[in-house]
Amino acid sequence: MNLKFDQIAVYTDDLPIDVAKVRSGGHPEWTFDKVVATAVMGEESEGEVGKFEFTADLAFNYSIINGMEFEFIEPGTYSYIKDQGIQPGQIAHMGVHLLGGPDSVHDDGAAVPSVKEQIKYLKEKMGLAYPIQRCITTAHANPNVPHHRRYSYIIWKSVLYPWPVKTIERISSTDPVVFPEHV
């Protein structure tokens, strides 16, 4: 399985200023999004108890680090970032986009491992200890995110890295709102 970090997110408390600074350094192309998600902290119940709405302003750049998505994240409401003591300018998380969906196949025709298999693999390889926050996006302001797509993700405490690790799964907007499993 070839899962690796493909996203780095840095916490900002002033998105426009930080993007302008990086733009002046030769990285002018940015994609912006305001995301709304339903979230629970840690391993809380999947029922109504503990559920809350999470918002964040995001800016993405694909030229800063070759082969990786660079993200500035400015949380608008309560999030794992402040809860974990992450300060502006620090890594908020490093992310891994999970492969395909239930019927996906690799270019060579081999079946893509299930999300559970991928999470198990990442627990071993990246030291994922326990979920800090689990979310499902419910709205995106970015017109480039198809209206039929949402994201299901888990922010993990890692025993190997000093920053949280985010597992990201693309899901359909017609899928039920069920928090991602943490196996």
Note the pLDDT of residue 31.
Answer: 94
Report whether 135 contacts 153 (CB < 8 A): yes
Note the pLDDT of residue 95.
Answer: 95
Q: Kindly report, residue by residue over 99-127, the tens digit of the pLDDT.
A: 875 456 555 666 778 888 888 989 999 99
Q: What is the pTM of this model?
A: 0.86
Closest CA to 69 of 33, 103, 38: 33
Closest CA to 42 of 182, 163, 167, 160: 182
- On whether residue 146 sits in a domain, the answer given is yes
- On whether residue 15 sits in a domain, the answer given is yes
Q: How many CA atoms lie within 13 A of 21 on its CB side?
A: 8
Which parts of 39-130 fold into alpha helices (H)?
80-83, 115-126
| Residues of the chain predicted below pLDDT 50 | 45, 102
For residue 64, what are the domain limits?
7-172
Note the pLDDT of residue 60.
Answer: 96
Distances (CA, A) of 129 to 18, 157, 158: 32, 5, 5
- On whether residue 85 sits in a domain, the answer given is yes
The strand pairing partners of 1, in sequence order, are none
CATH number at residue 146: 3.10.180.10
- On whether residue 182 sits in a domain, the answer given is no
Distances (CA, A) of 30 to 55, 70, 181: 19, 10, 32
Rounded to whole angstroms, the Cα distance separating 151 from 166 reads 12
- Per the structure, the count of domains in the chain is 1
Distances (CA, A) of 115 to 97, 106, 120, 167: 11, 15, 9, 10
Strands (E), 22-148: 31-41, 52-61, 69-75, 91-97, 128-140
Note the pLDDT of residue 73.
Answer: 96
Note the pLDDT of residue 69.
Answer: 95
Rounded to whole angstroms, the Cα distance separating 16 from 85 reads 22
Distances (CA, A) of 49 to 41, 43, 70, 110: 11, 12, 33, 40
- On whether residue 18 sits in a domain, the answer given is yes
